[in-house]
Amino acid sequence: MNIKKIIICDAIHKKGFELLEKEDDIEVIDAVSLSKDELLNIIGEADIAITRSPTAIDSKFLKAATNLKAIVRAGVGVDNVDLEGCSKRGIIAMNVPTANTIAAVEMTMAHMLSCARSFVNANNNLKIQRVWKREKWYGVELSDKKLGVIGFGNIGSRVSTRAQAFGMDVIAYDPYIEPSKVTDLGMTYTENFDDILACDFITIHTPKNKETTGIISFDEIEKMKDGTRLINCARGSLYDEKALYQGIKSGKIAFAGIDVFSYEPATDHPLLDLENICVTPHLGANTHESQEKIATQAAECALNAARGITYSNALNLPIKAEELPKAIVPYLELTQKISYFCAQINKSQIKSIKIKAEGDISKYAPSLLTFSLVGALKDSVGDKINYVNANYVAQEKNIETTFEEIPKASGYHNKITITLTTNKGVTFIGGTVFDGVEQRIVSINGFGFDFKPKGKMIVFKNKDIPGVIASIATILSKNNINIADFRLGRGKNDNAMAVILVDEAIDKKLLNELNSLNACLWVAYAIL
């Protein structure tokens, strides 16, 4: 068994460790308690690294990481990751962008309410100073106030719906979305940033880049109405902090709620000296629920990367998933998984790979083909195959590649079918995605199925005669193999096919035993 080493550089929830440690083909290196110098001494052993904010993925780290194939940033921000350096060394960098969404949304709402009612000041006045002075802490209501939302993605859109429930009038600014995403929710979309500056409350939910750094500075604050309230639970430096300080001190900004700073820890920041501001030490993602989600999703990303199955949320691929419509990304991953599945159950020299893309995804067939090649060539080429060289490797191996685009799908809104031809024969597997996220395999060689492409699977083709299922179960039970799921597809010519999800690894001896059954036409084993 080819053991892959995953190093955990920074503290994550125990569920992430548990998920990795139960896998037979994974060795976990716990480097959480090591100094950064000690980490550099052992990072060269690792195939995959899981990191958080404390570990800088800089030139020193990358130079020492001689065997590293991928990095998973357990969280959203990648400010501490040298993406260009990773790309030059062929290291795929990934993050976990959605695990802390609800935590960040609720933190924003907490700051918004604090901006409206001065909860922190009132609490301190009573609890610490023991002063009962109600008239000092008159606030404002959220109801009927205008909320300007900068960035209408996963977090900004959810903040908006919650604010709407408080009776706020939401105006959203995001030049990278369809206006209907906002207007369909009964909110106002604007292309004029001055409309945001005219709002009573303003909150920002964008990544930090050249365009967004300092998006609100002296000039923007000058345009605001007196008494505006600002919230930033996204990234430090999105608001110019010198301008913010001046605006709060002058009273132009009535109150601010800030969870993030340009430089952290911000224990000696001038903003802390002001009374009309609520500050928290970058707690946006810090809930028990979000930390567990971050850890488990990061661990799953690391497992898939270690096995070369897929690279979820990759940030430095030549095909930039973030630039594609959100609905297409799961099909890229599914295509790679299905192709890897094909190659495992049809092990031989690959002669051709064909993609049939039906529905709206048909226009992305060339991108799907690249992901298909990476999946199909993983076993034969190993770690040398990646998204950059996949097409070149296919040419060198004389693998014929084609794709078919069918704008109107039959039976499904979107569907992909991978046909893999080898010296042994032809395998064709179809899949789709339900509800935008649920990946499914729906057919294998013409047999209908519906199962997730995940786990340890036995694929068993047989004559459709009585007793087959019982015979398979008997052999697996005798070998202490637990059946997690059993899916059966029946076809023409009195044949059937089963996909059996099992909890334990299957060796060649057991496959030979299954193959010896009189009803068996062929059997294969695959891991996804």
235 among known catalytic residues = yes
φ and ψ at 247, to 5 degrees? -65, -40
DSSP state of 79: T
Annotated catalytic residue within 52, 73, 111, 282: 282
- Give me Rg for the CA atoms of the chain: 27
Q: In angstroms, rounded to a whole number, what is the distance separating the alpha carbons of residues 48 and 45?
A: 9
Contact 231, 200 (CB under 8 A): no
Which letter does DSSP use for residue 282 in this model?
Answer: S
Token couple for 466: 């009585």
Pull the structure tokens for residue 198: 């005219």
The CB-based long-range contact list for 299-304 (8 Å cut-off, 24+ gap) reads: 299/12, 299/15, 299/16, 299/17, 299/19, 299/20, 299/50, 300/19, 301/72, 301/94, 301/96, 302/6, 302/20, 302/48, 302/50, 302/70, 302/72, 303/6, 303/19, 303/20, 303/23, 303/26
Sign of CA dihedral 287, 289, 292, 295: negative
CA distance 285 to 98: 10
Report the residue count for the chain. 528
Rounded CA separation 286/288 (Å): 7
Would residue 288 show up in a list of annotated catalytic residues for this protein?
no
CA 32 to CA 55: how far, in whole Å?
A: 10
* Spatial CA neighbour of 405 closest among 355, 370, 454: 355
**261 CB neighbour count, 10 Å cutoff:** 20
264 labelled catalytic = yes
Residue appearing with tokens 């052993």 = 45
Under a CB-based contact definition with an 8 Å cutoff, are residues 285 and 75 in contact?
yes
* Candidate list 38, 264, 404, 438, residue with the active-site label: 264
Given 13, 235, 241, 333, which residue is catalytic? 235
Catalytically active residues, by annotation = 235, 264, 282
